[in-house]
Homo-oligomer: A and B are copies of this chain.
Amino acid sequence: STQQRPAKTAFKLAVVGGDGIGPEVTAEALKVLDAVSANYGVTFERTEYDLGAKRWHATGETLPDAELEEIRKHDAILLGAVGDPTVPSGVLERGLLLKLRFALDHYVNLRPSKVYPSVGSPLANPGQVDFVVVREGTEGPYVGNGGALRVGTPAEIATEVSVNTAYGVERVVRDAFARAQARPRKKLTLVHKNNVLVYAGHLWTRTVDAVKKDFPDITVDYLHVDAATIFMVTDPARFDVIVTDNLFGDIITDLAAAISGGIGLAASGNINPDKTAPSMFEPVHGSAPDIAGQQKADPTAAILSTALLCDHLGLTEAAAAIEAAVTADIEERTGDARTTSEIGDAIAKRAAG
């Protein structure tokens, strides 16, 4: 049939506010999403999931499988933040956040960095920063494949196993090459530590070398992760697309956020490019329990995450409208004294047009 399938207009959104400032910033993100979606004739039907520290204290549950299966039926997930000092470290991170990323096969963790001229960078001369990190999201040292023996004794031994497969590395490397190809500079940097982690590192290096043949127009280079942190502060403008493993990506994207707009502006998408499960969008920042519930958090990263969400759903105009509204708001910031919700209101108003 030559008939075009009508573009989808009604989206189902699973919302996980989570811990700390998560619910506050998520509320503003939803406010902006609503303001924009009206303009583009789309709707987001929301289901809120009560997951995180409170739920764990009340029930001992982090993410029951039945709830995961409910979440799976949505078109996308918006997540605030996960982690709380009253819960043993790792319980919520592994049992909720990483469980979602792994179960929904979010193998591309997309984290763009940009310096907005009006936002102070801690760097004296950041230069023209505009790069994106493609962080692998389903393998590496994050797989949870570790253990401990004789815990609490002087003979304790604890291990963590980084698992890397050709299957897992190739698919994220291909995605990164494709993203590099869609950008003007067409440059890809592999970040790893292949002089020490030789087994995993050589798999990554060989994979990049092999996939490169299918992308002859892309310039490729390699940096050890330690050297990458140096360039991140001495010459961040050199980066275009970075592809890296789960742990190195975690580290360098926090640094990338810090040297560009700050962690308050860093958005991310946990993407399942094959669309076999919903992708999940969240700010890079954590739950910041020290300022939770005080309307002090900057919701911009959460709001920008909805732009990535719209983009992923094919709503490119809506995504652009959100980004433009954020950029305009940022350009007028001068030592922001507004509340979380005032910032959300201002951006929502601009985004509505």
| Chain A residues with a Cβ under 8 A of chain B | 83, 89-90, 93-94, 98, 120-125, 141-142, 144, 146-148, 150-167, 170, 193-203, 205-206, 225-227, 229-230, 232-234, 247, 250-255, 257-259, 263, 286
Q: A93-B195, A148-B203, A230-B258 are in contact. List 7 more A-B contacts (CB 8 A).
A: A89-B202, A90-B194, A90-B195, A93-B196, A142-B196, A161-B161, A255-B255
Contact of A230 among B146, B165, B255 (CB under 8 A): B255
User: Residues of B contacting A253 with CB < 8 Å?
Assistant: 226
Whether A229 contacts B200 in the complex (CB less than 8 A), given A124-B123, A161-B159, comes out as no
Instruction: Check B158 against A200 for contact (C-beta < 8 Å).
Output: yes
User: Residues of B contacting A121 with CB < 8 Å?
Assistant: 124
The CA of A193 and the CA of B286, in the complex, are separated in Å by 13
The CA of A148 and the CA of B197, in the complex, are separated in Å by 11
User: Residues of B contacting A286 with CB < 8 Å?
Assistant: 227
Instruction: Check A229 against B201 for contact (C-beta < 8 Å).
Output: no
Whole-angstrom distance from the CB of A274 to the nearest CB of chain B?
Answer: 17
Contact of A254 among B161, B201, B203, B230 (CB under 8 A): B230
User: Residues of B contacting A124 with CB < 8 Å?
Assistant: 120-124
User: Residues of B contacting A151 with CB < 8 Å?
Assistant: 203
The CA of A147 and the CA of B199, in the complex, are separated in Å by 6
Instruction: Check A230 against B263 for contact (C-beta < 8 Å).
Output: yes
The CA of A47 and the CA of B143, in the complex, are separated in Å by 47
- Give the residue name and chain of the B residue nearest to A286 (CB): B227
- Give the residue name and chain of the B residue nearest to A140 (CB): B160
The CA of A207 and the CA of B230, in the complex, are separated in Å by 31
